[in-house]
């Protein structure tokens, strides 16, 4: 958070009515006018403040103004309204009017920082510290400069000095907490945020970041509490809803998580974070309709491998209609990528359509330096085409051989009659994944081929015990189908 210096006015009247009355008595008097404009700015009424400054200047170039206090206040308003070139002109004029005025140099530095002119900003903050070595605002802002450059250690030293010279400096403690978070020292970050909140109780950013530091420390209950407290002050921040939802997810409060992710999406439908949260929650809960809806909503913001990963998940669950829905949207948006093309290849094969595209895709992907995910799609394409040796070659070249892939490899090895090789592969895989029920099914198939029905039945029983229920796979093996019926029905 940047610390701007405003002119130090006389004590403000108690009520907005008093301020407005003083201003109406003499609208051309900069003193009452600036006080009222500053009050409007404090309330967030930026348009009303702008009207006062426009009347004071008579529509002339603000840089022609010679009232130092007015230029500072007006420049701050322009910063709030993102009118940065205008703010720069005003703050530059303050440094001409008062070359040794720290406020003007500090605010000019902030305007430079907001404009991306970081080196100019640094020079301004260093000028302030030359004039006032213990200026807490300049120490803070120079720390921000170094933190943006990734020089966190230098930023830390400056933030620590800012709170040393001004212990009640809430913004200094807040930025010190941010720097400790950048160092992944979440305990020190928590202490700094607590200090910020001690001196400024209604500090939603500090509450939010304290929640983050607590979440990173595994204190999910407390993180959720601080996120909710921050939300009381800023109900329009979609990221806060995501933060709360993430904490709820860690606490297994799935309904609450869904509610807050949905709120984030309603507030910012084009923002990715809420949709990403909904996607992960939906997949975890098996709510595939929501998973697909969330994927389609942000498909233009997802990298092609992420989209292909969603297609892979749905494909392995046999949700081919959903697969086609995502691929059609990707086609419409002209989203390309080898992983997606691998998914397209298998989808075209499944639908027995686009023969020309199948040939072109298979040729290109097989000749390219495909990664493991692409080789898995190719392996499936070859397996379903009866090209079992090519299937095996895909795995030798590094096709992803997780649960789905290893089954393709075993099918190909069985089809090629390489029983010793498939036996070795099954044993190795089950040793690492003893609850992989499909592995026990294939072991049962191997045992039957070796004329060992009793051990085959035992292996199939283990498969069922671990959750095997692939009816389509059973249908392909008549002898195993009889054993499966016997095990599951007792007949």
Domain annotation covers residue 112? yes
End-of-domain residue from the set 132, 162, 193: 132
| Dihedral, 308, 314, 318, 322 alpha carbons, nearest 10 | -90
Q: Where residue 37 sits, what CATH number does that domain have? A: 1.25.40.10
Domain annotation covers residue 442? yes
For the chain, the domain total comes to 2
CA distance 294 to 373: 23
Domain annotation covers residue 155? no
Domain annotation covers residue 167? no
CB-based contacts of 444: which residues, under 8 Å, 6+ apart? 456, 457, 459, 460, 463, 480, 483
End-of-domain residue from the set 132, 165, 197: 132
Residue 58 is part of which domain span? Answer: 1-132
Q: How many CA atoms lie within 13 A of 381 on its CB side?
A: 26
Q: Each residue of 290-315: pLDDT tens digit?
A: 999 999 999 999 999 999 999 999 99
CA distance 99 to 485: 92
pLDDT tens for the 491 residues of the chain, in order: 455 544 444 444 456 788 888 888 888 888 888 888 888 888 788 888 888 888 887 766 766 778 888 899 999 999 999 999 999 999 999 999 999 999 999 999 999 989 989 999 999 999 999 999 999 999 999 999 999 889 999 999 999 999 999 999 999 999 999 999 999 999 999 999 999 999 999 999 999 999 999 999 999 999 999 999 999 998 999 999 999 999 999 999 999 999 999 999 999 998 999 999 999 999 999 999 999 999 999 999 999 999 999 999 999 999 999 999 999 999 999 999 999 999 999 999 999 988 999 999 999 999 886 789 999 999 999 999 999 999 999 999 988 888 999 999 999 999 999 999 999 999 999 999 999 999 999 999 999 999 998 999 999 999 999 998 887 888 888 888 888 888 888 76
Domain annotation covers residue 433? yes
Domain annotation covers residue 369? no
Domain annotation covers residue 481? yes
Domain annotation covers residue 213? no
End-of-domain residue from the set 76, 109, 132: 132
One-character DSSP codes across 460-487: HHHHHHHT---HHHHHT-HHHHHHHHHH
């Amino acid at each position: 958070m940047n610390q701007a210096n405003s002119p130090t006015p006389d004590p403000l009247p108690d009520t907005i009515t008093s301020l407005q009355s003083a201003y109406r008595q003499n609208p051309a008097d900069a003193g009452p006018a600036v006080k009222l404009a500053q009050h409007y700015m404090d309330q967030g009424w930026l348009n009303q403040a702008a009207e006062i400054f426009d009347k004071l200047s008579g529509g002339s170039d603000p840089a022609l103004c010679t009232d130092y206090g007015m230029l500072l206040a007006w420049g701050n308003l322009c910063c709030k309204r993102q009118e940065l070139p205008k703010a720069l002109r005003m703050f530059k004029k303050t440094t001409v009017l008062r070359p040794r005025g720290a406020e003007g140099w500090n605010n000019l530095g902030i305007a430079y920082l907001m404009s991306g002119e970081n080196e100019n900003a640094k020079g301004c903050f260093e000028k302030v510290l030359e004039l006032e070595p213990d200026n807490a605002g300049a120490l803070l802002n120079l720390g921000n400069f170094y933190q943006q450059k990734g020089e966190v250690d230098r930023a830390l030293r400056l933030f620590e000095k800012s709170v040393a010279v001004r212990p009640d400096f809430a913004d200094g403690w807040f930025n010190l907490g941010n720097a400790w978070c950048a160092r992944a020292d979440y305990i020190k970050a928590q202490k700094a945020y607590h200090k910020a909140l001690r001196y400024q109780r209604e500090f939603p950013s500090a509450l939010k970041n304290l929640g983050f530091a607590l979440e990173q420390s595994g204190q999910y209950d407390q993180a959720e509490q601080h996120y909710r407290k921050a939300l009381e002050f800023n109900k329009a921040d979609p990221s806060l809803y995501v933060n709360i939802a993430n904490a709820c997810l860690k606490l297994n409060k799935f309904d609450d998580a869904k509610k807050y992710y949905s709120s984030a999406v309603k507030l910012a439908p084009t923002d990715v974070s809420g949709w990403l949260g909904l996607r992960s929650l939906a997949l975890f809960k098996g709510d595939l309709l929501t998973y697909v809806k969330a994927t389609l909503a942000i498909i233009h913001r997802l990298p092609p491998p992420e989209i292909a990963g969603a297609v892979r998940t749905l494909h392995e669950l046999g949700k081919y209609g959903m697969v086609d829905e995502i691929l059609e949207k990707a086609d419409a948006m002209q989203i390309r990528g080898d992983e997606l093309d691998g998914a397209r290849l298998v989808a075209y094969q499944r639908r027995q359509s686009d023969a020309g595209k199948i040939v072109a895709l298979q040729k290109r992907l097989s000749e390219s330096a495909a990664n493991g995910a692409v080789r898995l799609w190719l392996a499936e394409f070859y397996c379903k085409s009866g090209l079992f040796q090519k299937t095996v070659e895909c795995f030798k070249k590094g096709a992803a051989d997780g649960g789905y892939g290893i089954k393709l490899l075993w099918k190909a090895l069985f089809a090629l009659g390489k029983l010793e090789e498939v036996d070795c592969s099954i044993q190795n895989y089950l040793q690492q994944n003893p609850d992989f029920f499909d592995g026990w099914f294939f072991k049962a198939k191997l045992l039957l081929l070796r004329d060992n029905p009793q051990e085959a039945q035992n292996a199939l029983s283990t498969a069922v015990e671990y959750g095997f229920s692939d009816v389509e796979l059973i249908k392909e093996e008549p002898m195993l189908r009889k054993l499966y019926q016997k095990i599951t029905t007792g007949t």
